[in-house]
Amino acid sequence: MQEHEHALTGGNATQGVVRVGATVRKPWTPATAGVLEFMGAVRSAGVDVPEPLGQDELGRQVTEFVPGRLALELPSLSPADLARVGQIVRAIHDASEGFVPRAFAAWDTLIPAPDDELVCHNDLAPWNLIVGDRWVFIDWDGAGPSTRLWDLAYAAQAFTLSDASEDPKVAAERLKAFVDGYGATTELRSELPSTMARRAEAMYDLLHASHRSGREPWGSMYVNGHGAHWRVAADYVQRSQSTWLEALTARVP
């Protein structure tokens, strides 16, 4: 019997994401073989990620459907929840260490990374975290070489600093919970605030440049609110850096 297909509309970037029973189907791209291999490697190292299930009869990629809600749709996460997410980000990074895809993989990364320390997810954000009985990051298609710092900067900003109207001292408590959960070294902590500012600016630049060049879907996202969101977010991170540097590097008496 042909199983029914339900469109999954939570994302922006990919057309044709559907659920079929306990699986998700997305278009197969030149990056997909490497992405599924990477997901498998992270999973084998003990991190809960959707099981990669290969290719279907229509040539689409198949991964496990994970039940739950997107973190983005939930009331804001508590500091303890944020520490848990930070811990998951750390586990993904540790699991990626030393991963080299068997076949050459044409990674489909959106924003140039400062270095290629390890393969990262590159979009660890509330719009890609399923919260349910399991807490699982989905949407691994943009994975590719990056650095712990660059990937953590994006995740920390997206999970804890996306409300630019908030007093940065208050936001600092959530940021610290996340970074403590990650177990960041002193060096990472001291570089994080300025890197978050650069990372948020890079996101804005991508949307703005896409708007000018007509590159979709980012060009349309720029005018549909994402451009304004990232402009405000990048300015907030830029001007609050010193508050967060102090909070992250303060010595515990």
- Is residue 12 near ligand ATP by the rule CB under 6 A? yes
- Is residue 186 near ligand ATP by the rule CB under 6 A? no
- Is residue 139 near Mg ion by the rule CB under 5 A? yes
Rg (CA), the chain: 18
Distances in Å between the alpha carbon of 213 and those of 45, 209, 223?
41, 6, 13
**123 to 162: interface string for ligand ATP, x by CB under 6 A:** x---xx-x-------xx-x---------------------
- CB closer to ligand ATP out of 156 and 177: 156
- Is residue 11 near Mg ion by the rule CB under 5 A? yes
Cβ contact 112:7 at 8 Å? no
Cβ contact 123:107 at 8 Å? no
Cβ contact 40:31 at 8 Å? no
- Is residue 182 near ligand ATP by the rule CB under 6 A? no
CA nearest to 141, candidates 56, 17, 47? 17
Per the DSSP assignment, residues forming a β-bridge with 7 are 18
- Is residue 47 near ligand ATP by the rule CB under 6 A? no
Residue from the set 28, 65, 178, 244 that interacts with ligand ATP by CB under 6 A: 65
CA angle 148/154/159 to nearest 5° reads: 120
Structure tokens at 128: 């890609």
Partner whose footprint covers residue 63, from Mg ion, ligand ATP, none (CB < 5 to 8 Å by kind): ligand ATP
- CB closer to ligand ATP out of 96 and 128: 128
Residue from the set 32, 61, 96, 128 that interacts with Mg ion by CB under 5 A: 128
User: Minimum distance from CB of 82 to ligand ATP (Å)?
Assistant: 20
- Is residue 248 near ligand ATP by the rule CB under 6 A? no
Terminal CA-to-CA distance of the chain, rounded, Å? 65
Partner whose footprint covers residue 65, from Mg ion, ligand ATP, none (CB < 5 to 8 Å by kind): ligand ATP
User: Minimum distance from CB of 17 to ligand ATP (Å)?
Assistant: 4
- CB closer to Mg ion out of 128 and 160: 128
- Say how far apart CA 90 and CA 119 lie, in whole Å: 13
Structure tokens at 12: 């922006």
Which residues make Cβ contacts (< 8 Å) with residue 177, sequence separation at least 6?
79, 80, 82, 83, 86, 160
For binding to ligand ATP (CB under 6 A), which residues are involved?
A: 8, 10-14, 17, 24, 50, 63-66, 70, 123, 127-128, 130, 138-139, 141
* Binding residues vs Mg ion (CB under 5 A): 11, 128, 139
